[in-house]
Each structure stands twice: as C-alpha cells, then as structure tokens.
Amino acid sequence: MREEAARVTASMVRLVGDFDVAEDVVQDAIVEALEHWPREGIPDAPAAWLLTVARRKGIDRLRREARHRQKIALLEAPPPMTTLPDDRLDLIFTCCHPALARDAQVALTLRSVLGLTTGEIARAFLVPEATLAQRIVRAKRKIVGAHIALRRPDVRELSDRLGEVLAVLYLVFNEGYLASGPDRASRRDLAEDAEWLTSLLVRLMPDEPEPLGLLALMRLHLARAAARFDERGRLVLLKDQDRSTWDRDRIADAVRLIERAGALRRTGPYQLQAAIAALHCEAASHDVTDWPQIVRLYDVLVGMTNGSAVVRLNRAIALGEVAGPEPALRAVSELASELDRYHLYHATRAELLRGLGRHDEAREADRRALELTDNPAERVLLEERIDR
Amino acid sequence: MKYVLLLCDSDRSTYMHQTPAEAQKTFGAITAWWGEKAQRKVILGGEQLASPDKATTVRSVGGRSVVTDGPFIEAKESIGGYALVEVPDLDAAIALAKEWNGLLPGSTVEVRPLHEGEGM
C-alpha cells in the first residue's frame, strides 16, 4: 500500500499542483480502498484504482472552488490504464529542494513520499507533534509562496540536487541507526525507512552511481548492527565488535552494489564512504584491516568534500592505525577550532592521548565529549572511560 | 512569477580589490548580462545603489522618527543593488542569482518573491 500510495500522491501533486489537496484526496481514496477491497478483492492495478478515485475526489473538491477550471480539465482527461507515470522522483526532489531548511526537507520527505503521519515523524525525532506539524506547514507555504516547481531538476542541476536528496536520506538513516536508549522500542525504525527510500531512488535512477553508493553504505552499517551493542545494551566500538555476528550475505550484497556503481565510472562521496566501510567489513579483524588503503580513500574524500573537518577527523583515526597516535594527534589538533563543539572530536583526542600514556589529558577530553552528547549509549561509554 | 533579487556585496567581493582594468572588464560583463536579460524581459527593472557610506537610515522608535548616518544594518554585507525579474519558478530565479555570483565572485544574492495578493 505504501508504494502505491506514494505513486498516486506524486501523480496527484503534479496534476493539482497543491500538496495539501493531493494528500487529502489520496487519503480519502485509501479510506475507500480499505472499505471496498476486503469485500471485493484487491484490484489488478491497485495504483490505477486509487488514482481514479483520487482524481474523482479531486474534481469534486476543485469544482467547489470555481477558479480551478484548468486543473479540472487535467483530472478529467482519462489516465493511461496500463502504466502509471512515475512522478515520485519529482516529489522527492521537490521535498529536498535546497531552498527548504534541512529539517523541513526531512519532515516533508517522510510525510509525502513515505506517507508517515505527523505523529509518527514527531515521535521518531523526539519532537512535539505540534512543532513537526508547524514545520511541515511552513515548508509547504514556502513551496507555494516562493513558487518552487514540483518537478525534478535540469541535467545541469542534477548533481547538486541529488546531493541534497542523499544528504536527507543519510540524515534520516543516522537518526534511526544511532538511536538508542529506552525509547527505542516505541520509535519507528527510521534506518529501515531511509533504506527503503534509497532503494526506491536507486530503482528510479538506475544510471546514477551515488544512490547506489549510499544504499551500499547503509546496508554495510546494517550488516554490522548485531554487534553494536553488548548483552547489557552498551555500545561496542568497532575494534571490539564480534565480527562473527556480522551478516556476511548483506556485506556481499552491498559490495555488489559498490561494483555496480563503479562500473558507471563517476566516483562520489557516498561511493567512497561505502568503499571504506566495505574494507572494514571484509577484514577478519581490526588489526588486519587495510588501513593504508582506507587512508588513501579518505585523502580522496577530503578533496571531494572541500576539506570537510569531519572527514579529516575520520582520516586522522585511520592514520593513527598506520602511523601511530603521535601523527594522528597532530592531524586531529588542526581541527580544534572547527570541531570544538563536536563530541567525537574530543572522544578521538582522548583515545589518542591514552595511546600516548597521557591519561589525565585523555580524561579531560572525554569529559569535554560527555558535555557535548545526549546519546545515552555514548554517555555510558564515556563515563566508564573517565572512571577507569 | 516575479522576484526581487537583492544584490549584496561583502568584503569577500573580489571587485573591491581589482585593478581599474579588471574592474572595467567586470563592469562590461555585468552590463552585457543585464542588457540581454532586460531585452528578453527577464529583468523588468533594477538599479545599482550608491555605496553604503552614502546611506541614511530613518527608523521609527517609540512613535518618533530617528534619522542616522549609514545603512540600517551594521554588517559586513551591504545591499549594492536590486533587480526585479520575471521567471517561471524559483529554480529559474536561483539560476539568475548564480549567474550574478559568477559575474561578481564573493557576492550574495537574496531571492524573494513579491507579496501575493492585491498590489499596493
């Protein structure tokens, strides 16, 4: 139903040019479907059925508002019954338009493409429902007020705009993947939602390598999920993880995606991150990981991301494995001003200082990291390191 | 759809450090660009403003008007001019703003639609 609903919503948004009307009539059509289909059986072309009903309701609705003559004409034109044009790509790109703030892009994508309710999204991100609802209202107002067109971008803009979409999807994934603590059970699995959306993007843009890269990256993270927490629910760092619990089939599947992307001969940041993750996943242990190759991949990634401080931080960690804590600490210290508010910067410094026997400074750095994170599992880990 | 492009300069604006010959080239490129857009009725109007040190601010405070020297925002960025444009949608307006960035490296452009509803 989710797939069908998204496709129908996308088509209706294109036809009526209005998010709210489109969503309302699709919702009404779904309600009708849920009443009729159990009795009469699911139709052969469910999306076409939903669209027909949605169009009819759209016509009724717009007729009441007399100024929509043109739109009514569009709705009344008989739809092609065999294949539904896929407008979902247009919808995804619109929801992720750079003129919208990141949190608005996230909320709108989850609402319009995935069909989550405002309540579900609010609970998943741990914000009050009213806040989330306001965020979506404002985003729609911006789309209408600034005339953001409801279509996919030009070829010239595609690379930048695709970058925005992938950033949104990865943000949703991380929100779900890094979540931990007692609320976990009642929260939606955003990681699963992000993975579904990314696989949809791959299906809709089969010739683009970066969505493949992101999907591979997500699947490599998920393949290792079983090892991330111990039996007491505490975070386990990569170097301490029980690699026998990693899902080898999922890893192999993700590697195939990376190879598929590679064949398209246009590298990019998500493909690189996936390649780095794959090197970890294929190593039998932390020590036999191909660290020099990882450093080389990070070198490219640094260039590609205009010297992103977080990327340079991750590179420094890998450098530490190759050249020891001293050069790594030097590399990390260069990031002081940019990453002072980032807890992982301080946590990384702490590990490196500990490697050099500078335990008091290490503890100080861990304390700083603790001040900067709310994540319960990370806090437990940091507190234990400080107390040791 | 109509938008106003607020064309802003900052201390990053490269033209501030150009030689007279380079500045002449920049000015020529801008004039050509503007002319082409105006001819195609993409740009409907607009002006270059005098430098911010020639600005005067008139502010309503506590029911009175207070007149002071200088632009209304004390900031590193200042409004250098504006363009009223008519284009199909926001992406087209953004494309124009990007072209302006290309003509004047270091510039910032605010793209804002006109107020909906009955005009003033």
Q: Establish if B23 touches chain A: CB-CB under 8 angstroms.
A: no
Contact B77, B108 (CB under 8 A): yes
Taking a contact as any Cβ pair under 8 Å apart, which residues of chain A between 77 and 116 contact chain B?
Answer: 97, 99
B51 has pLDDT over 90: no
Residue of chain B whose Cα is closest to the Cα of A152:
B91
DSSP line for B20-31:
HHHHHHHHHHHH
The arithmetic mean of pLDDT across residues B92-107, rounded, is 95
Looking at chain B, the whole-number percentage of residues with pLDDT higher than 90 is 70
The SS3 of residue A164 is helix
Give A-chain residues touching B112 at CB under 8 angstroms.
Answer: 146
Strands in B78-86's sheet, in edge-to-edge order, are: B43-48, B78-86, B2-9, B108-113
Give me the amino acid identity at B92.
Answer: A
Number of CB pairs, chain A paired with chain B, less than 8 A apart:
23
Cβ-defined contact of B91 to A154 (cutoff 8 Å): yes
Cα–Cα distance, A37 to A130 (Å, whole number): 34
Give B-chain residues touching A147 at CB under 8 angstroms.
Answer: 1, 89-90, 113
Residue of chain A whose Cα is closest to the Cα of B94:
A99
Cβ-defined contact of B90 to A154 (cutoff 8 Å): no
pLDDT at residue A176 in the model: 86
Contact A229, A194 (CB under 8 A): no
Instruction: Give the mutation candidate from B1, B5, B90, B96 for the A interface (greatest A CB count, under 10 A).
Output: B90
Residue of chain A whose Cα is closest to the Cα of B115:
A145
Determine if residue B19 is left, alpha or beta; phi over 0 gives left, psi from -120 to 50 gives alpha, anything else beta.
Answer: beta
Tens digits of pLDDT across chain A (388 residues): 777 888 888 988 888 888 888 888 898 898 888 888 888 888 888 888 889 999 998 888 877 766 666 677 777 766 555 555 678 888 999 999 999 999 999 999 999 988 889 999 998 888 999 999 999 999 999 999 999 998 888 888 898 899 999 999 999 998 888 775 445 555 668 998 999 999 999 999 999 999 999 999 999 999 998 888 888 878 888 999 999 999 999 999 999 999 999 999 999 999 999 999 999 999 999 999 999 999 999 999 999 999 999 999 999 999 999 999 999 999 999 999 999 999 999 999 999 999 999 999 999 999 999 999 888 888 888 999 998 8
Give me the residue from B90, B112, B116 closest to A148, CB to CB. B90
Q: Which long-range contacts (CB under 8 A, 24 or more apart) does A51-56 make?
A: A51/A8, A51/A11, A51/A12, A51/A79, A51/A84, A52/A79, A53/A28, A53/A29, A54/A8, A54/A12, A54/A25, A54/A26, A54/A28, A54/A29, A55/A12, A55/A15, A55/A25, A55/A79
Cβ-defined contact of A147 to B116 (cutoff 8 Å): no
Rounded to the nearest angstrom, the minimum Cα separation between A70 and chain B is: 18
Cβ-defined contact of A153 to B94 (cutoff 8 Å): no
Instruction: Give the mutation candidate from B5, B86, B91 for the A interface (greatest A CB count, under 10 A).
Output: B91
pLDDT at residue A182 in the model: 44
Cβ-defined contact of A148 to B1 (cutoff 8 Å): no
Cβ-defined contact of A149 to B88 (cutoff 8 Å): yes
Cβ-defined contact of A149 to B94 (cutoff 8 Å): no
Helix (H) / strand (E) element for B61: namely: strand B56-61
Rounded to the nearest angstrom, the minimum Cα separation between A128 and chain B is: 30
Cα–Cα distance, B82 to B7 (Å, whole number): 5
Give me the residue from A97, A145, A153 closest to B116, CB to CB. A145
Cβ-defined contact of A149 to B90 (cutoff 8 Å): yes
pLDDT at residue A226 in the model: 87
Residues in chain A: 388
Cβ-defined contact of B1 to A147 (cutoff 8 Å): yes
Give B-chain residues touching A153 at CB under 8 angstroms.
Answer: 91
- Bridge partners (DSSP) of residue A235 are A229
Rounded to the nearest angstrom, the minimum Cα separation between B90 and chain A is: 5
Rounded to the nearest angstrom, the minimum Cα separation between A354 and chain B is: 42
Alpha-carbon distance values, B37 to B27, B80, B83, B107 (Å) = 15, 19, 11, 19
B40 has pLDDT over 90: yes
Helix (H) / strand (E) element for A310: namely: helix A309-323
B17 has pLDDT over 60: yes
pLDDT at residue A181 in the model: 44
Contact A158, A151 (CB under 8 A): no
Which residues, in sequence order, are CB contacts of A9 under 8 Å at separation 6+?
A: A22, A23, A26, A91, A112, A113, A115
Taking a contact as any Cβ pair under 8 Å apart, which residues of chain A between 141 and 200 contact chain B?
Answer: 145-149, 153-154, 157
Cα–Cα distance, A170 to A176 (Å, whole number): 10
Provide the 10 A C-beta neighbour count for residue A361: 15
Give me the residue from B91, B112, B116 closest to A149, CB to CB. B91
Taking a contact as any Cβ pair under 8 Å apart, which residues of chain B between 59 and 118 contact chain A?
Answer: 88-91, 94, 111-113, 116
CA dihedral B77, B78, B83, B86 (to 10 degrees): 40
Cβ-defined contact of A154 to B1 (cutoff 8 Å): no
pLDDT at residue A308 in the model: 93
Cβ-defined contact of B116 to A146 (cutoff 8 Å): no
Give me the residue from A97, A145, A153 closest to B113, CB to CB. A145
More confident residue, A154 or B47: B47
The candidate with the shortest Cα–Cα distance to A258, out of A212, A223, A200, is: A212
